[in-house]
Structure 1
Amino acid sequence: MYNQIYNNNYNPNRNKNRPNGKKYVQTKLNFGQKPLDNYEDDPTLLDYNFGNIMLSQNELNVSDELKTHLHYIRIPYYENNNPEKLNEKKYNIIKEALTKFPIRNCNAFQYALLKYHTELSENDNSLLNNLRLYEKRYSDEAKYFFIEILPFIIEQALKLPEYLTKPIPLLGKYMNIAITFNKLQVISLLANQFLCIFTEENNKLYHTPECSFLGIFSTPKSTVDSSVEKIRSVVHYFDKMRKRSIDSLKSELLTFQRVSLKEKSLPDWINSSMNICNVIIDKGRNIEECENMLQVDFANSYLGGGVLRTGCVQEEIRFVITPELFVSMIFTQKLDNLETAFIIGAERVSKFKGYGRSFKFNGDHNDCYIKYDKWNRKSTEIVALDATHYSPSLKKYIQFSTKETIREMNKLYVGFKNNELSNLSEGSYIATGNWGCGAYNGDLELKAMLQVLVASITEKNICYCPFDKVEFADRLGVVVHSLKTHNVTTDLLYKLIRSYNTEVIFKHVNHNSPPKISLFDYILGTLQYN
């Protein structure tokens, strides 16, 4: 239930006033807002390709015609009606709050925060309670953080107007668009998130995720151990970055991309015939350890899911150990069914152990072995794919229906097909695993077969990392071997899935009972007798 609430049902508007009248800390920050512009979805945007906008070079390299379709992210110390112009009054309020006096502990940090977030209350016991627990539990680390690392974070946050002289376009619904930043710009954006300088304005206007770290620092009612460990990992990132040269940080690039498809671009699933792809079962690695592969983020439609609250499952952990991913939350609108997001070049900095409530930061991870591509991006490519969330009751078997399987295959296709900004070779492997399962209540066998089917259609291969589902992984290997032995093609596999729904699922669930035979058993039995 914990993961279901805080990851998969993530809703950016759910933390409203609570019934007992006590004011709990919110991640809704409202510093100096002006009336919001009107924003409406525009399906005609699918007709355009906005290309890769090189903010790394402070260029808005988009034609004048396409610029008329862009919306820009609001940064609190820029003018709302002119996103390239600094609002010196707002900027100076934040700068004075963060630099007038040394910030050597949580009390001093709270004092500064309240200067530019006057809607927060110093009498709220939950304000910064996780940061205080970090200070208490890891006193030596926290002392080092306040004295050595926080000044660097503040410095980098306040240098954003110097580093980024063009506004940040929204990666919005129906858009094919990418933004490339240099690493120094990403550090500065993340520093602004960490210092809670971003407000709810973009979230309200554009349906982007909330992106302030206040939700990690503060949890209503009680502290959360995993949030403390998240803080440790992000602090470690800043500590690593402050020890690198400015020139190296400027030269390294990261790309954040949104891909949207028209329905007419999708395969005809029942008539698309391709051989089944290769599937490697890798029980010894996690997805993030599979280099030179496209790595799947089991995403929420709001990127990051519950990472800035108490969520701590696959997507949230990936963000925490690779903190540059947090920046995607600033400008990526909620994903629709035929959309996905790619992040290319993000650096993993932390090891971890545990999962969910047991998650712990486990020291430094050095990915110096990761090569750079021709753009000087680390060759780590991540694709965010949001699966459908199902009820844990018998209603979950609706996922076997034609409508639901097509939705999931379409989503996978958008993420698996060739990406013009990727440097992965043709026929490369996709590192994935129990996508859409766990708290999402997806069926392991169905989701695995759908991933194999779509990878085959897109002429990719699968590296399946089963996490703790070792016995299931062995069964998957048997099924894939049988499919290949019997020369089953993708159209036949899809027909097997559909016939399982009509012959098994429909019959049993209509009588309020779970199916008596699994999809794998049905496939193996059908192949054996045909």
Structure 2
Amino acid sequence: MKRIPQCDNTLGPLDFSKMHTVLVDVDVFNCGAGPIPQDGRDVWHNDFVKMPFSLSSYMKTGYTKQTNTVRWEVIYKQLRSLSKKTTASVKDLEDAIIKYNPKYKGQWSFDALSSLVKADPNGSNYSPKLFQKIAELALRLPELVKKAVPLLKRGHPAAITLSQTQIACLLANAFFCTYPHRNFSGPKAEYHNYPSINFTSLFGNASSRKKQKLRAIMHYFQEVTAKKLTGLVTFERRCLKETDLPNWRSSNKKMHKLHVASYGTIENEGKGMLQVDFASSWIGGGVLGSGLVQEEILFIINPELIVSRLFTEKLGDKECLIVTGSQQFSNYSGFGDTFEWKDPHEERLNRDEWARLQRQIVAIDALPFKHRSEQYNMNDVTRELNKAYCGFKGHQSNEPDIATGNWGCGAFNGDKQLKAVIQLMAAAQAKRGLAFFTFEDESLKQGLQQTYHLLVTERTTVDKLYSLLQNYCATQQAYGSAHVDLFELIRINFSPSKSLL
């Protein structure tokens, strides 16, 4: 399979454009001096992230605007006081956070964070000085992020490149719940179409899952407050126009390369490939809650991904998010209730010309189905084809192959065989190979290998598979609860004996 080191695309000097916002000084960076924050000004506008240090962000301390307090003054006072403590407890952290979020006094719980600290007071994931260090990092926001951060809005392709230090600072502010207007989730809330970013939901309602998540988060902050970070990370929202969509009914593309493995993971064995995040349309899914399936695990071991929740609006049907350069900080074992933080991850990837680690992740959200039978209709199948194609479509001449697996087949109730065929078709249309990990499903591995071999041998094209899926969906609907085996249907329709009739 083709991996990033084998791809010889030349980036050229780092540059910004109307569609690419760069938060570091491009001229300084291109001279080799490393990432220095780009000068700019605060913008309190609906097209940009409303920052905690904005002079337009007030706290109600009186009945008129003139008697209210600029919120950053309160944040600064609380976090500065916290940073100067010899030791800082969870109660100290809670008191500081509630001072500038007084509406939530008595509503927000910090018991999950408390249980971690009690269980590991001086262990590998927590040290008595860590809260103070995170507070110091959070307070650097006005000096580290001077340029306004645009929102990656639906229907608008755009990219943001920022330094790892800037990401760490932004996440430190998420940890201390400083972002204004981001604690409301109702339909009338200003950011109702964005994921949550403040960490309140991670701190409360203690569970073994949250304990393990917090171990990873604490390890991340231990690392970023102790070491100098030198890299950049790019977050890019890609959108397909109607004219970009393939005509699946008439596509003559043939199957591309396929490697199937029942063991191994996308992030390890798929290293150097375009790694698929089985995403929620709300990027990151339940990473700040109790969720611990593929996407949440990916975000927990690569915490820099969490910052995408700050500026990425809910993904539309023809959109994806591609993240280039994020760093893995933790190793883990298990899945869901068996997930455990294992140990620190030693990053060995090379960096590209823009100092980004050679890791590329694409977030594509599958449709969720309450009942499995709901997915067998061509409107939904076509939607999934377009979504996968949006993520798989290359934008340069020499792109790495794709590492994927049972996309949308866990909590979203997707049919493993159908989702595998959909991804095969999308990869064929994009002319990219697939490394497919079945996560210990040996039966799926063998079935997919045999099906792929038949499709290649018979030179089956995407349009023929699309036509077969139409028949398959009609058959599934006719049979109701009885399941029709898609791989078997492909074997019957495309076997050599069938083609001779």
Task: Say whether the fold is shared (TM-score over 0.5).
Answer: yes
Looking at structure 2, the residues matched to 119 and 373 of structure 1 have their Cα atoms a distance apart, in angstroms, of: 45
Identify the match of residue 307 of structure 1 among 280, 287, 301.
Answer: 287
Identify the match of residue 94 of structure 1 among 47, 68, 75.
Answer: 75
Shift of 1:263: 1.3
Looking at structure 1, the residues matched to 382 and 18 of structure 2 have their Cα atoms a distance apart, in angstroms, of: 28
Runs of 5+ consecutive residues of structure 1 not aligned to the other structure: 1-48, 62-66
Alignment of 1:462-473 (within 5 A): 462-473=434-445
Residue aligning to 1:106: 90
Identify the match of residue 426 of structure 2 among 432, 436, 454.
Answer: 454
Confirm or deny: 8 A CA contact 2:39 2:146 kept in the other structure: no
Residue aligning to 2:103: 119
- Counterpart check, 1:411 vs 2:387: yes
Identity value in percent? 32
Looking at structure 2, the residues matched to 134 and 213 of structure 1 have their Cα atoms a distance apart, in angstroms, of: 15
Q: In 2 relative to 1, CA 131–238 (structure 1 residues): closer, same or farther, beyond 3 Å?
A: same
Q: In 2 relative to 1, CA 88–156 (structure 1 residues): closer, same or farther, beyond 3 Å?
A: farther
Looking at structure 1, the residues matched to 76 and 320 of structure 2 have their Cα atoms a distance apart, in angstroms, of: 36
- Counterpart check, 1:145 vs 2:142: no
Q: CA RMSD in A?
A: 2.4
Which residue identity does 1:232 align to in structure 2? R
Shift of 1:162: 0.1
Q: Secondary structure at the match of 1:288?
A: coil
Residue aligning to 1:526: 493
Q: After TM superposition, which residue ranges in structure 1, 4 or more long, deviate above 6 angstroms? A: 67-70
Shift of 1:68: 13
Residue aligning to 2:478: 507
Shift of 1:215: 0.6
Which residue identity does 1:120 align to in structure 2? Y
Q: Secondary structure at the match of 2:246?
A: coil
Residue aligning to 1:186: 167
Residue aligning to 2:407: 435
Confirm or deny: 8 A CA contact 1:56 1:185 kept in the other structure: no
Shift of 1:418: 1.4
Looking at structure 2, the residues matched to 415 and 490 of structure 1 have their Cα atoms a distance apart, in angstroms, of: 17
Residue aligning to 1:325: 305
Confirm or deny: 8 A CA contact 2:260 2:437 kept in the other structure: yes
Alignment of 1:259-270 (within 5 A): 259-270=238-249
- Write the deviation string for residues 185-237 of structure 1: whole angstroms up to 9, x where unpaired: 01100111111112444863241111111111112xxx211111111101111
- Write the deviation string for residues 83-102 of structure 1: whole angstroms up to 9, x where unpaired: xxxx9942221122123252
Alignment of 1:46-61 (within 5 A): 50-57=18-25, 58-59=37-38
- Write the deviation string for residues 293-335 of structure 1: whole angstroms up to 9, x where unpaired: 1001111111011111111111011000000001000000011
Which residue identity does 2:121 align to in structure 1? S
Shift of 1:428: 2.6
Runs of 5+ consecutive residues of structure 2 not aligned to the other structure: 1-16, 26-36, 59-67
Alignment of 1:205-220 (within 5 A): 205-206=190-191, 207-219=193-205
Looking at structure 2, the residues matched to 490 and 174 of structure 1 have their Cα atoms a distance apart, in angstroms, of: 27
Residue aligning to 2:234: 255
Shift of 1:145: 3.0
Which residue identity does 1:332 align to in structure 2? T
Shift of 1:121: 2.6
Of 411-420 and 294-303, deviating more is 411-420
Q: In 2 relative to 1, CA 403–88 (structure 1 residues): closer, same or farther, beyond 3 Å?
A: same
Looking at structure 2, the residues matched to 481 and 151 of structure 1 have their Cα atoms a distance apart, in angstroms, of: 58
Alignment of 1:133-172 (within 5 A): 133-141=115-123, 145-172=126-153
Shift of 1:70: 7.5
Residue aligning to 1:487: 459
Confirm or deny: 8 A CA contact 1:199 1:212 kept in the other structure: no
User: Under a length normalisation based on structure 1, what TM-score does the superposition of the two structures give?
Assistant: 0.81
Confirm or deny: 8 A CA contact 1:53 1:60 kept in the other structure: no
Alignment of 1:353-364 (within 5 A): 353-364=333-344
